[in-house]
Structure 1
Amino acid sequence: MDSGSQPPSSQPVKRRRITRACDRCHHGSLKCAPGPTPQSCQPCASYGAECKFDRPLKRRGPAARPRTDNVTSQLQRQSPTYSLVMGTGSPWEYVHVADTSVIEYLADQYHQIVYPILLYFHWPSFYADIVARRYLCDRSFYTLTMAICATAATRLSGELPTRIASVIKVKNNSSLSGMFYTACINSLPVLHTDEVEFNFMRAEALLGMLCLEYNNIRGCHAHLHRYLAMCAEIGFNDESQWPPGLTAIEVEERRRLFWQQYHFDVYLATIFGSSIRQRGQTQCQVLYPAEVYDDSDIGETDVHLRGDDHVSFIRGWNFVTDLYRILEHFVQKEHPQSSQQTRRGSLMDKLLSSNTNPDTSNVADILAASQEMYDSLPIELREARPLTGQIHQDRYGFQAINATITLTTLKMVLARTEDRSVNQLCTMAGGFLDELLTIPTAYIRSTSTAMVGPKYFVA
């Protein structure tokens, strides 16, 4: 054998054997594919994360397998109905971030403050999984739980309870949120997966909203794009494409997620001028969520609707969806497609302007109809009463300010479509701000940037 031919054949083998995944891909069980530059792999480049190799070198081989097998069997004995979710190339491994008491505390805070607006869950079944520690052995649920904790941490006001502060090592709520956010990002799989997990969709939705809190609009769009990619893959915009055999709980959770993300999509377009990716009128075959009084009214097989004496806070949430559908049309009108892509006066210009742009000739009628819809809501959904700490009472207040601020945003968008003077617009804005100032400040402190953002838009 020619000895001179050995180095070219052996060198690539040796190079493959010593290749290591970066820290982020290692923790998230991701395929550490080469990136656009030598300094970053593809997953890190996609997320804009720093590509690091700071973890210590460890001896590879079968020696570590018995320990992993013992941990796996222990977790499966604790929760026999859940199995480990396989990542790319190797099984996913649970990464400890915080004590169980911290996770349960933050989940409870989410329920109190965030859940009345971000209705991603059937809370009784979701919280039962939290208590059962499903996140220990289910990758997608772990990712979702980390997103919940990161979101809840941004809404905390004041000091943490002593029992919680004693088991965490962060200086402030922002650091606490960032800790869970990092864990969530590290556990996300690469986008190209064999099967779309519903919990990953919900996690991406929460992360997009969370990026608003971080003032990271680019992150909002990145997570929304990943969510929409999964939607496109499974036909999420059409209920007939959903998996057969879903329970009533699973159907309602999907409806809530779909329309909440529609809110978010139109919100970004209205406030930040981005494109609307989902069309509520022409591309959606998804029903509104059932207007139940409480999530306990949703069972495995049916949904129980109580009488008029039990006002559903979801009625206010569905009203906000109606407002966003109106906003979709008028945001599109403000940025007509034909203005940039066709010659003015051409046949294409006439076709697009007549078929894609809504008729805004009678803005006054639309304003009147929107106000009439608002006035027909129960008083609980129109007046935000002081916070009581009781979720069944406070959720009405959160929906009341949600409806008030969204209606205010709609009025300002409609006003811009009319020929009004600067003085008239300033007078309108002043009146709207006076309305917003009637909202109890406790709600403003507790709620999100997505809720307060339209105030700056109005100004």
Structure 2
Amino acid sequence: MFFAAAEDALPKNMLQCRDFDCLRGYALLALASLQDAKIRAMHMYIGHYFTVLAINQWHDESNWPEGMQASEKEERRRLSHARVEYPSGRNDTEPETPESNDGTGWIAGWNFTTDLYRILEHNLAMLRSRSSKFNLAGDQASSMSLSLQSQERVAQLYSALSPVFKQLQPATGDPARDIYGFQSANIQATMALLRMVYLSLEEGADLETKCSVVSDVLATFHQVPKPYMRAISTPLIYHIGGIGIILGSVMEGPLSESSCRRVRELLLSMADLLESLEAFLCRGAGAGQRLRDLVARLEEYMGNKEYQFIHPQAGAEPAAPPSQDVSSNEWGEPVVTDLSPQFQLPDEFLLDWTWPFAVSGTYLSF
């Protein structure tokens, strides 16, 4: 009802739109569409947002009216795009908290996340151009070099960030304090997304690398207090969708018994995470149980020992016997290296691996 009322309140002719509140309206409708997984509507309202920006030249701070109050400039900086200063937070009326006593306002954490998304945008552009059939240069070495530079830049920015945004503090119920905790959680979630994009830029990433990234990302999400996960809301689902895409690519490739166990543990960890979110993210309902069902099928498949091993090519050196480790895994079996024979999961096993949270096939391409 409120969504329809907001649509009716906005002007039908964007050429006549001179009210800055209309820009705010288009941005809010785009966000609301994202929350409800109305992806076509989201793209439409993002398009309206940029159209109104371009018509009025609001994207460039130098075109704003002279004599604007500082508070109005701060408000516009939060909503506009491109050639504007970052919001400073100087006009916010926040109560004193232990987190802000060192002079660091919460907006600094938000601006850092904005930096991460700007870096993310450039990396996704590299990924799309590299995989495009119109990429005539095809310089993969260059994109890898730029990716490494990007990772170094993120490390530098994170090192300079105030310690208050590096600590995942529990939610207290006090908004003046929890807004800092939310910034920390949002930063960690966005950096996890960047890690997955960096993985997609890495040519020929092996199974161990993929599983290591998934393990680190899941560990991050498990550490974030649930109230902050709820505040991040639907975009978090799309982050988790990236994990599903990576695991799907792992299961499509050659596996060994030890790598199957690793995948099993990651699937169960992901199921735990999704089930902990189902209470407030309805789009995830049942996804955890579907992953557990997949694990049960994997265990049954591994238990019957009838899978087809991938034989080495003629003339290849025989693999050395796998060395035994003193530790054991959750199944009570000794951990072996991936020198054990490899096999391929049958096509019918992966037939229903349709990740339920993917916006489209082009959201992330691993």
TM-score, normalised to structure 1's length? Answer: 0.48
**CA–CA distance in 2 between the matches of 1:429 and 1:332?**
22
Local SS of the residue matching 1:394: helix
1:160-175 to 2 correspondences below 5 Å? none
1:33-48 to 2 correspondences below 5 Å? none
1:296 is aligned to 2:296 = no
1:161-181 deviation line (CA, Å, top 9, x unaligned): xxxxxxxxxxxxxxxxxx211
Aligned residues between the structures = 239
1:332 is aligned to 2:129 = no
Question: Which residue in 1 is equivalent to 2:144?
Answer: 360
C-alpha spacing 1:291/1:446, structure 2 compared with 1 (3 Å): closer
Shift of 1:205: 0.4
Local SS of the residue matching 2:227: helix
**CA–CA distance in 1 between the matches of 2:109 and 2:224?**
16
Q: Is the Cα contact below 8 Å between 2:15 and 2:55 reproduced in 1?
A: no
Question: Which residue in 2 is equivalent to 1:397?
Answer: 181
Q: Is the Cα contact below 8 Å between 1:191 and 1:226 reproduced in 2?
A: no
C-alpha spacing 1:360/1:253, structure 2 compared with 1 (3 Å): farther
1:285 is aligned to 2:79 = no
**CA–CA distance in 2 between the matches of 1:231 and 1:447?**
26
Local SS of the residue matching 1:336: helix
**Alignment equivalent of 2:221, drawn from 426, 429, 436:** 436
1:46-445 to 2 correspondences below 5 Å? 179-259=1-81, 284-292=82-90, 295-296=92-93, 309-336=102-129, 339-341=132-134, 344=136, 349=137, 359-361=143-145, 363-419=147-203, 420-445=205-230
**CA–CA distance in 2 between the matches of 1:375 and 1:393?**
22
Q: Is the Cα contact below 8 Å between 2:24 and 2:79 reproduced in 1?
A: yes
Shift of 1:191: 3.1
What is the one-letter code of the residue matched to 1:369?
R
What is the one-letter code of the residue matched to 1:202?
R
Q: Is the Cα contact below 8 Å between 2:168 and 2:181 reproduced in 1?
A: yes
C-alpha spacing 1:339/1:181, structure 2 compared with 1 (3 Å): closer
Shift of 1:310: 2.6
Local SS of the residue matching 2:144: coil
**CA–CA distance in 2 between the matches of 1:204 and 1:315?**
25
Q: Is the Cα contact below 8 Å between 2:109 and 2:184 reproduced in 1?
A: yes
**CA–CA distance in 1 between the matches of 2:5 and 2:149?**
49
1:453 is aligned to 2:238 = yes
What is the one-letter code of the residue matched to 2:211?
C
1:222-277 deviation line (CA, Å, top 9, x unaligned): 11011111011011221111222221111111111125xxxxxxxxxxxxxxxxxx
C-alpha spacing 1:242/1:458, structure 2 compared with 1 (3 Å): farther
Shift of 1:221: 0.4
C-alpha spacing 1:447/1:328, structure 2 compared with 1 (3 Å): closer
Q: Is the Cα contact below 8 Å between 1:316 and 1:400 reproduced in 2?
A: yes
1:392-432 deviation line (CA, Å, top 9, x unaligned): 10100111111111111112111211121133112211111
RMSD: 2.7
Shift of 1:368: 3.6
Local SS of the residue matching 1:386: coil
Q: Is the Cα contact below 8 Å between 1:402 and 1:451 reproduced in 2?
A: no
1:429-451 deviation line (CA, Å, top 9, x unaligned): 11111111100112223432124
The farther-off stretch of 241-250 and 393-402 is 241-250
What is the one-letter code of the residue matched to 1:386?
P
Shift of 1:366: 3.0
Local SS of the residue matching 2:14: coil
Shift of 1:197: 1.1
Local SS of the residue matching 2:16: coil
Gaps of 5+ in 2: 95-99, 245-366
TM-score, normalised to structure 2's length? Answer: 0.59
C-alpha spacing 1:451/1:314, structure 2 compared with 1 (3 Å): farther
Shift of 1:308: 6.9
Shift of 1:196: 2.1
**CA–CA distance in 2 between the matches of 1:209 and 1:244?**
30
Shift of 1:312: 0.8
1:75-100 deviation line (CA, Å, top 9, x unaligned): xxxxxxxxxxxxxxxxxxxxxxxxxx
Gaps of 5+ in 1: 1-178, 260-283, 298-306
